[in-house]
């Protein structure tokens, strides 16, 4: 049995069961007895807890993340680092991880991908604005709730995990989603999270991550080298604009990625509004080829001084070619005679000196020519060697990744399908291939349903299981009208447009987490279908996310501030008050616009009428004696702490002075305004049974 199950942490959290295990911590389901709620507690494993520096950073990161508050981030409630346990307390999520969701559904469509990715990006945007970098974005750390929203987990924990920059098993637990700079152990910033989000989007759209290998190190090296296949090569149905967003996020160079999550969200929003958009920026997917970096050629040794200059300036110092040291006078010309020689002797030797100079010049010129030829030859040898090495490397890569691998796999011949009629049983008939359909096209040559294009071409040899992409003809373009694509358009505007074209639009409503309320989700008939004049067209329009309802509590007789507090706890945020004349004590709620126990939308406006209090009257002059006026005081009754809700009633002399109220778990006090004279005894009843009596003394 686990050592923590059944234990109490800090005399507050009771550990109930294990709900997850990670590389550095175990996650438990627990109950907070102070607030009477279920929570998730992540406890650091013992092998990490022994490191004091690790514990310190674990606590510091947890406290930083606890400051984050966003709908798409799992809330952190508490952080503790003691000798007995090091743990983080978080909200308990009722849902599954995005990884489990993807394993269940397979390849997601682009709408779901965009829906999830935008929420993740919004969570990252909030965290980055607070200086928190996740460093471990992956589907396992994203929770999908039942209402379709997502929450990102483990913010800041990945910062702790990057304590070591070596490619150990622990550091590479998320290697399929790691950024190149993380794989190299370099500096990371918010753009590292953007890269990982791009990888997650890639996997959602293709059903697999961009890089895979036999070992974590092999995958990390692929991230460092880059060159992932375009998502459209694996899923032809991915829109061009979304593919550009993914590939820009996954740019190998950090400077080529989105500057921030905000910038990425802007492009996502533009794509959401117009799925046909093609962005103007340049991404890897737009390249036809990728250049191979040149190899610098060094044909001479650098001195220590040269290396210091290069370290300071970033550039190697200029040097002359080999042997180009400062020449002495003996190397450049004949040694001059002593100035003490007579002019006559010098004049007599002039012809010999001139002849000797010419001879020396010829010798020097020949030496320079030999040096130049030697330099050119050396450079040519080095260049040829470098080119040969690069060619060998490319050949070996092609050989081992292509030819040799293909020898181990069974090759099949692609059938000739152009001109055949497409049928649903083609996948069974050609089981050696994965048949993928491209959007149909109108054509004057091929009749409707006839295959007009295939890729790869018939007769070619491919590996068993390869994709066979085919395009089916829609036949001749009809003279009748064709249904336009109104997905994402305003419902009312679309309805008006169709009416003006002579069709009968009928609106149907449907909840959606992808499209805002009032936006067209789809049409029936669908886009591209033929239409006849006067045809009925159904518009399925979004109502937004599902409505959240709650039961209206009874706040009559309560002081207005207490009534508002109870309503806020129940999720009602649209509460207004108005004062009215009443004999009830001032500030007491005497009317609520929604009856108690009625199930209503939490956004419904709740109006509370509050008493202004009875009007003050002068005592009669005819009566020589008047009774003292009752005094109104604010009374705080202590209540028991219980795990289940209960009903509280307050009586005075058998008369109910405070109408029955439902008390939620965790509430230990009840405040209300009461009036009286002298000492008054109030009897408290819980669920109709006597609980206690409280005496209240009024000064009048």
Q: Which residue has the higher pLDDT, 365 or 110?
A: 110
Q: Which residue has the higher pLDDT, 367 or 249?
A: 249
Q: What is the pLDDT of residues 128-141, one digit of tens each?
A: 888 888 888 999 99
When pLDDT is cut at 50, 70 and 90, the band that residue 14 belongs to is very high
Q: Is the pLDDT of residue 514 over 80?
A: no
The active-site residue, picked from 2, 51, 136, 287, is: 136
Contacts of 589 (CB under 8 A, 6+ apart): 555, 556, 557, 558, 559, 560, 563, 608, 609, 610, 611
CATH of the domain spanning 491-542, picked from 3.40.50.720, 3.30.10.20, 3.50.50.60, 3.40.47.10: 3.30.10.20
H helices of 67-166, in order, are 98-105, 110-129, 157-161
Q: For residue 461, what are the β-bridge partners?
A: 413
When pLDDT is cut at 50, 70 and 90, the band that residue 326 belongs to is very low
Query: Could you tell me if 7 and 13 are in contact, meaning their C-beta atoms sit under 8 angstroms apart?
Result: no
Predicted local confidence at residue 197, as pLDDT: 97
Predicted local confidence at residue 158, as pLDDT: 42
When pLDDT is cut at 50, 70 and 90, the band that residue 642 belongs to is confident
Q: Is the pLDDT of residue 623 over 60?
A: no
Q: Is the pLDDT of residue 125 over 70?
A: yes
CA 81 to chain centre: 29
Taking residues 45-63, report their average pLDDT.
75
Contacts of 281 (CB under 8 A, 6+ apart): 244, 248
Q: Is the pLDDT of residue 251 over 60?
A: yes
CATH of the domain spanning 547-614, picked from 3.30.70.380, 3.40.50.300, 3.50.50.60, 3.30.10.20: 3.30.10.20
N-term to C-term CA, the chain: 65
Predicted local confidence at residue 501, as pLDDT: 80
Query: Could you tell me if 126 and 217 are in contact, meaning their C-beta atoms sit under 8 angstroms apart?
Result: no
Distance CA 292, CA 384 (A): 16
Query: Could you tell me if 179 and 162 are in contact, meaning their C-beta atoms sit under 8 angstroms apart?
Result: no
Taking residues 249-258, report their average pLDDT.
93
Q: Fold identical between 1-92 and 630-700?
A: no
Q: Which residue has the higher pLDDT, 145 or 324?
A: 145
Q: Cis omega (within 30 of 0) on the bond before 291?
A: no
CATH of the domain spanning 413-473, picked from 3.30.10.20, 3.40.50.300, 3.40.50.720, 3.50.50.60: 3.30.10.20
Dump strand ranges (E) for 464-567. Answer: 467-473, 504-510, 520-524, 536-542, 549-551
Taking residues 24-41, report their average pLDDT.
89
Distance CA 229, CA 234 (A): 8
Predicted local confidence at residue 614, as pLDDT: 78
CATH topology of domain 1-92: Phosphorylase Kinase; domain 1 (3.30.200)
Predicted local confidence at residue 376, as pLDDT: 65
Predicted local confidence at residue 626, as pLDDT: 53
Residue 260, CA distances (Å) to 154, 200, 654 in order: 20, 17, 67
Main-chain dihedrals φ then ψ at residue 342, nearest 5 degrees: -75, 155
Distance CA 119, CA 149 (A): 8
Contacts of 680 (CB under 8 A, 6+ apart): 652, 674, 695, 696, 698
Taking residues 457-463, report their average pLDDT.
85
Q: What is the pLDDT of residues 533-590, one digit of tens each?
A: 888 999 999 988 777 788 899 888 899 998 998 898 888 888 999 998 888 888 999 8
Predicted local confidence at residue 324, as pLDDT: 37
Residue 630, CA distances (Å) to 615, 616, 625, 633, 635 in order: 13, 12, 16, 10, 15
By mean pLDDT, which of 106-120, 332-346, 681-695 is the weakest? 332-346
Q: Please spell the DSSP secondary structure of 602-653, one letter per residue.
A: TTS-EEEEEE--PPP-PPPSS-S--PPPPEEEEEEEE----SS-EEEEEEET
Predicted local confidence at residue 685, as pLDDT: 84
Q: Which of 274, 284, 250, 285 is nearest to 264 (CA)?
A: 250
Q: Which of 151-160, 238-247, 384-393 has the highest mean pLDDT?
A: 238-247
Q: What is the pLDDT of residues 263-307, one digit of tens each?
A: 999 999 999 999 999 998 766 555 433 333 333 333 334 444 444
Predicted local confidence at residue 689, as pLDDT: 79
Both tokens of residue 535? 């045809």
The CATH architecture to which 96-290 belongs is: Orthogonal Bundle (1.10)
Predicted local confidence at residue 409, as pLDDT: 60
Predicted local confidence at residue 312, as pLDDT: 41
Predicted local confidence at residue 151, as pLDDT: 93
The verdict on whether 136 is a catalytic residue reads: yes
Taking residues 14-38, report their average pLDDT.
87
Predicted local confidence at residue 16, as pLDDT: 93
Predicted local confidence at residue 618, as pLDDT: 55
Residue 112, CA distances (Å) to 17, 59, 265, 511, 655 in order: 33, 36, 15, 14, 60
Distance CA 8, CA 537 (A): 62
Predicted local confidence at residue 264, as pLDDT: 95
For the chain, what is the largest distance between any 2 Cα atoms, rounded to a whole number of angstroms?
159
Query: Could you tell me if 600 and 550 are in contact, meaning their C-beta atoms sit under 8 angstroms apart?
Result: yes
Residue percentage of the chain with pLDDT more than 70:
77
Query: Could you tell me if 682 and 650 are in contact, meaning their C-beta atoms sit under 8 angstroms apart?
Result: yes
Q: What is the pLDDT of residues 346-379, one digit of tens each?
A: 444 555 566 666 666 667 677 666 666 667 667 7
Q: How large is the angle between the packed helices 261-273 and 240-249, nearest 10 degrees? A: 170
Q: For residue 683, what are the β-bridge partners?
A: 651, 693
- The dihedral of CA 361, 366, 369, 371: what is its sign? negative
Residues 403-411: contacts with CB within 8 Å, 24+ apart?
406/463, 409/463, 409/464, 410/463, 410/464, 411/461, 411/462, 411/463, 411/464
Q: What is the pLDDT of residues 170-223, one digit of tens each?
A: 344 478 999 999 888 888 889 999 999 999 999 999 999 999 888 888 888 899
CATH class of 630-700: mainly beta
Predicted local confidence at residue 187, as pLDDT: 83
Distance CA 352, CA 334 (A): 12
Residue in the block written with tokens 């990884």 = 99
Predicted local confidence at residue 637, as pLDDT: 87
Task: Give 497-508 as a 3 state SS string.
Answer: HHHHCCCEEEEE
Domain ranges in the chain? 1-92, 96-290, 413-473, 491-542, 547-614, 630-700
Predicted local confidence at residue 199, as pLDDT: 96
Q: Is the pLDDT of residue 657 over 50?
A: yes
Can you give the C-alpha Rg of the chain in angstroms? Answer: 40
Q: For residue 412, what are the β-bridge partners?
A: 462
Predicted local confidence at residue 266, as pLDDT: 94
Main-chain dihedrals φ then ψ at residue 197, nearest 5 degrees: -65, -40
Predicted local confidence at residue 548, as pLDDT: 76
Taking residues 114-142, report their average pLDDT.
91
Distance CA 304, CA 308 (A): 6
Residue 270, CA distances (Å) to 112, 241, 242, 273, 279 in order: 16, 9, 10, 5, 9
Predicted local confidence at residue 314, as pLDDT: 45
Distance CA 34, CA 40 (A): 15
When pLDDT is cut at 50, 70 and 90, the band that residue 319 belongs to is very low
Predicted local confidence at residue 700, as pLDDT: 62
């Amino acid at each position: 049995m686990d050592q923590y199950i059944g234990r109490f942490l800090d005399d507050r959290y009771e550990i109930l069961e294990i709900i997850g295990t990670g590389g550095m911590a175990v996650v438990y389901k627990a109950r907070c007895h102070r607030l009477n709620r279920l929570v998730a507690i992540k406890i650091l494993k013992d092998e990490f807890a022994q490191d004091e520096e690790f514990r310190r950073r674990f606590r510091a990161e947890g406290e930083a993340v606890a400051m984050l508050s966003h709908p798409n981030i799992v809330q952190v409630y508490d952080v503790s680092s003691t000798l007995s346990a090091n743990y983080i307390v978080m909200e308990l999520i009722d849902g599954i991880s995005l990884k489990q969701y993807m394993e269940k559904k397979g390849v997601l469509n682009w709408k779901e991908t965009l829906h999830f990715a935008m929420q993740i990006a919004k969570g990252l945007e909030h965290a980055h604005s607070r200086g928190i970098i996740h460093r471990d974005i992956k589907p396992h750390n994203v929770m999908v709730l039942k209402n379709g929203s997502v929450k990102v987990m483990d913010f800041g924990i990945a910062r702790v995990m990057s304590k070591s920059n070596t490619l150990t098993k622990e550091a590479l637990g998320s290697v399929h989603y790691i950024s190149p700079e993380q794989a190299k152990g370099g500096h990371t910033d918010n753009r590292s999270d953007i890269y990982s989000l791009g990888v997650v989007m890639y996997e959602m759209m293709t059903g697999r991550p961009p890089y895979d290998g036999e070992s974590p190190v092999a995958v990390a090296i692929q991230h460092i080298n880059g060159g992932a296949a375009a998502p459209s090569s694996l899923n032809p149905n991915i829109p061009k604009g979304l593919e550009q967003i993914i590939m820009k996020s996954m740019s190998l160079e950090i400077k080529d990625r989105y500057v921030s999550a905000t910038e990425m969200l802007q492009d996502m929003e533009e794509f959401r509004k117009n799925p046909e958009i093609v962005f103007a920026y340049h991404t890897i997917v737009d390249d036809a080829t990728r250049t191979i970096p040149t190899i610098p050629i060094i044909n001479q040794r650098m001195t220590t001084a040269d290396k210091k200059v290069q370290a300071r300036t970033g550039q190697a110092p200029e040097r002359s070619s080999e042997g180009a040291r400062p020449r002495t006078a003996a190397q450049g010309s004949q040694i001059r005679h002593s100035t003490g020689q007579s002019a006559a002797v010098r004049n007599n030797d002039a012809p010999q000196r001139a002849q000797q100079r010419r001879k020396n010049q010829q010798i020097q010129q020949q030496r320079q020519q030999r040096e130049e030829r030697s330099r050119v030859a050396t450079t040519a040898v080095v260049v040829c060697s470098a080119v040969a090495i690069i060619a060998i490397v490319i050949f070996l890569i092609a050989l081992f990744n292509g030819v040799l691998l293909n020898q181990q796999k069974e090759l099949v011949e692609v059938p000739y399908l152009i001109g055949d009629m497409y049928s649903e049983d083609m996948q069974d008939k050609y089981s050696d291939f994965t048949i993928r359909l491209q959007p149909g096209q109108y054509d004057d040559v091929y009749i409707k349903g006839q295959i007009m294009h295939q890729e790869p071409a018939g007769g070619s040899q491919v590996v068993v299981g390869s994709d066979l992409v085919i395009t089916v003809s829609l036949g001749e373009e009809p003279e009748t009208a064709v249904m336009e694509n109104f997905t994402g358009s305003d419902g009312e505007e679309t309805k008006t447009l169709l009416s003006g074209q002579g069709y009968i639009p009928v609106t149907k409503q449907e909840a959606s987490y992808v499209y805002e309320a009032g936006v067209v989700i789809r049409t029936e008939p669908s886009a591209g279908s033929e239409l006849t004049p006067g045809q009925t067209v159904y518009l399925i329009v979004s109502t937004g996310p599902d409505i959240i309802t709650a039961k209206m509590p009874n706040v009559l007789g309560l002081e207005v501030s207490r009534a508002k507090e109870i309503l806020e706890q129940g999720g009602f945020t649209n509460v207004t008050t108005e004062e009215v004349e009443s004999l009830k004590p001032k500030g007491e709620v005497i009317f609520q616009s929604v009856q108690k126990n009625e199930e209503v939308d939490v956004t419904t406006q709740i109006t509370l009428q509050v008493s202004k209090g009875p009007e003050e009257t002068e005592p009669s002059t005819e009566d020589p004696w008047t009774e003292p006026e009752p005094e109104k005081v604010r009374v705080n009754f202590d209540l028991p702490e219980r795990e289940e809700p209960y009903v509280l009633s307050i009586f005075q002399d058998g008369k109910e002075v405070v109408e029955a109220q439902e008390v939620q778990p965790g509430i230990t006090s009840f405040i209300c305004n009461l009036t009286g004279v002298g000492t008054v005894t109030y009897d408290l009843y819980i669920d109709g049974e006597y609980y206690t009596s409280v005496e209240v003394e009024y000064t009048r």
